[in-house]
Amino acid sequence: MEKYDVLIIGAGIAGLYAAMQLPASKKVLVVCKDIPWECNTFYAQGGMTTALNEADIPSHIADTMAAGSFHNSKEAVEILSRTSLETTQDIIDKGMQFDTDEEGNILYTKEAAHSVERIIHAGGDATGRYMHYFMMVQNKHKLQKNTLVYDLLIEDGRCFGVKATVNYEPTTIYADDVIIASGGIGSLYEFNTNSRTVSADIHGICVEKGIALADMEFMQFHPTVFVETPYARKLLLTEALRGEGAHVVDDEGRRFLFDYDERGELASRDIVARGIFTHIRKTGQKAYLDFSMFEKNWFEHRFPNITHTFASLGYSFPTDKISISPAFHYANGGIKCDTNGCIEGMEGLYVIGEAARTGVHGANRLASNSLLEGAVFAKRAVDHLLSKAHKVIEIPKFEKDYGNILHKDNDKIYKHKLRQIMWEDIGIIRTTKGLHEAKNLIYDMKNKEIGRLLELRLNTASAIVDAALARTESLGSHYIESDR
């Protein structure tokens, strides 16, 4: 029997930072669905927020609460900001190199809705990639790829492990504690910036087991994404570009975002995304990011990742402007937990990172708070786990297995349809009529001959549409327009 002290599902920042906190004396397994760098952390560009010092904490808290439309849990936000000082220092002390000036002072940048420059970055615009590599190297526990979790083993309010395919073979993995760090729900949306592995499976299992999801109506759309590629993951153009001074313009070169908010390009992410979406819809014009104000060498040094990625598509930055659209980016809601990652009524199961709804983000996440949240709450969950008295656990028999019905013939067609429905009817601007139509279509699909993984996606989609229908007034990233 394969049994661990701790099983961590997911190898992004939350999963890896949790693993880094677990002593070598523990038998730990970290699993990821594909290759380890297929995770949202790897694709994070802009940076990681940190309070600059004690004096900056109230301002960071205020910015986070304002971006979240004050729907946030104040307690969770305070923990995030206060702990950021020690978490950032810990990561630096362990050897992570953030970008510095020539004297070795850390460089801070600004993104939308931050009052001051407090975002640290690495490799210019490749923060996630650098942090992910750093944490992969730091992690001394076993990491197993190609492990797709399709069930949580739960009985009488306790989790005993998971069922998963490992290299396509159904397997049972038992653990005293399971930490969910599986990320958000990006693959549900036609246009999204997420890794292809982020497909809401674990959220769907939670729905099935009666584990609460919360704030699922608050899906975040990033304003500046290049969507004209055939791949599922669309190409992010970091908010740090606007933080450094890039403009959003239309076909006529007009900075139209000031029509929507006096902060223009630096309004919070939900406002900028809606402004771009509405302007495109209203005028039939395209929206672009314009970098022409930047000096070429400076731009290439500050944004090397974007410069090279887009050069391979034929763009020469900063001279060329690039067409942009909003796209799904981040799940503000998730599996409901307390500030230690514990799930009410459930023993042996924690949730951290984007998968978790700690209450930090409220109705709309402040830019670059997510890497920080992943690290801060991973450590808290591990501290909680390690503080528990050891119990001998008797494992019940789990007969039911879905390993042979993960996929069915028509799943691809339905998955594609689901992505369109999510984008069109449960997207940036919603109507009650559209939400009801989406709900019916999702329900119809659930009653077709479908595989387990699609069923799990549909469970999560249902949770999103139900939450959106339940909130009849607009708030943060949930925007309801009256039916026309």
Angle, helices 127-138/13-21, rounded to nearest 10 degrees: 30
Nearer to ligand SIN, 221 or 423 (CB): 221
Pairing mode of beta strands 349-351, 219-226: unpaired
In the complex, what is the shortest distance from the CB of residue 330 to ligand SIN, in angstroms, rounded to a whole number? 6
List the Cα angle 349/350/355 in 5-degree steps: 125
In the complex, what is the shortest distance from the CB of residue 114 to ligand SIN, in angstroms, rounded to a whole number? 11
- Is the alpha carbon torsion for 459, 464, 468, 470 positive or negative? positive
- Number of C-alpha atoms within 13 angstroms, CB side, residue 224? 29
Tell me which of 14, 77, 363, 367 binds ligand SIN, using CB under 6 A.
Answer: 367
Distance between alpha carbon 21 and the CA centroid of its chain, in Å?
A: 22
- Say whether residue 206 binds ligand SIN (CB under 6 A): no
Nearer to ligand SIN, 208 or 290 (CB): 290
- Say whether residue 199 binds ligand SIN (CB under 6 A): no
Nearer to ligand SIN, 32 or 113 (CB): 113
Nearer to ligand SIN, 141 or 365 (CB): 365
- Size of the residue set binding ligand SIN (CB under 6 A): 10
Task: Reply yes or no on whether 269 is catalytic.
Answer: yes
Pairing mode of beta strands 169-180, 213-214: unpaired
Tell me which of 87, 370, 459, 460 binds ligand SIN, using CB under 6 A.
Answer: 370
Query: Which two structure tokens, joined as six digits, stand for 395?
Result: 């494992």
Tell me which of 41, 45, 69, 462 binds ligand SIN, using CB under 6 A.
Answer: 45
- Kindly provide the b/e burial profile for residues 437-473, where b requires at least 16 CB atoms within 10 angstroms of the residue's own CB: ebbebbeebeeeebbbbbbbbbbbbbbbbbbbbebee
- Say whether residue 368 binds ligand SIN (CB under 6 A): yes
Q: What is the edge-to-edge ordering of all strands in the sheet holding 108-109? A: 48-49, 119-120, 108-109
Q: What is the DSSP letter of 403?
A: G
Quick check: helix, strand or coil at residue 331?
A: strand
- Contact mark string toward ligand SIN, 74..113, x via CB under 6 A: ----------------------------------------
**Window 329-348: residues binding ligand SIN (CB under 6 A):** 329-330
The region of 197-205, 365-373, 378-386, 421-429 touching ligand SIN under the rule CB under 6 A is: 365-373
- Say whether residue 477 binds ligand SIN (CB under 6 A): no
- Say whether residue 64 binds ligand SIN (CB under 6 A): no
**Window 307-326: residues binding ligand SIN (CB under 6 A):** none
**Window 227-256: residues binding ligand SIN (CB under 6 A):** 238-240
The region of 19-27, 367-375, 410-418, 448-456 touching ligand SIN under the rule CB under 6 A is: 367-375
Nearer to ligand SIN, 67 or 465 (CB): 67
In the complex, what is the shortest distance from the CB of residue 370 to ligand SIN, in angstroms, rounded to a whole number? 5
Nearer to ligand SIN, 236 or 337 (CB): 236
- The distance in angstroms from the start CA to the end CA of the chain is 59
Give the DSSP letter string of 414-428: HHHHHHHHHHHHSSS
**What amino acid is encoded at 442 in this protein?**
I
The region of 100-108, 277-285, 288-296, 364-372 touching ligand SIN under the rule CB under 6 A is: 364-372
In which region does residue 209 sit, left (phi positive, over 0), alpha (psi from -120 to 50) or beta (all else)?
alpha
Question: Which residue in the shown chain puts its C-beta closest to ligand SIN?
Answer: 46
Cα distances (angstroms) measured from residue 469 to each of 219, 307, 479: 14, 41, 11
Given a contact cutoff of 8 angstroms between Cβ atoms, the answer to whether 10 and 351 are in contact is: no
Catalytic position from the list 129, 269, 302, 452: 269
Footprint of ligand SIN on this chain (CB under 6 A)? 45-46, 238-240, 329-330, 367-368, 370
Catalytic machinery residues: 269
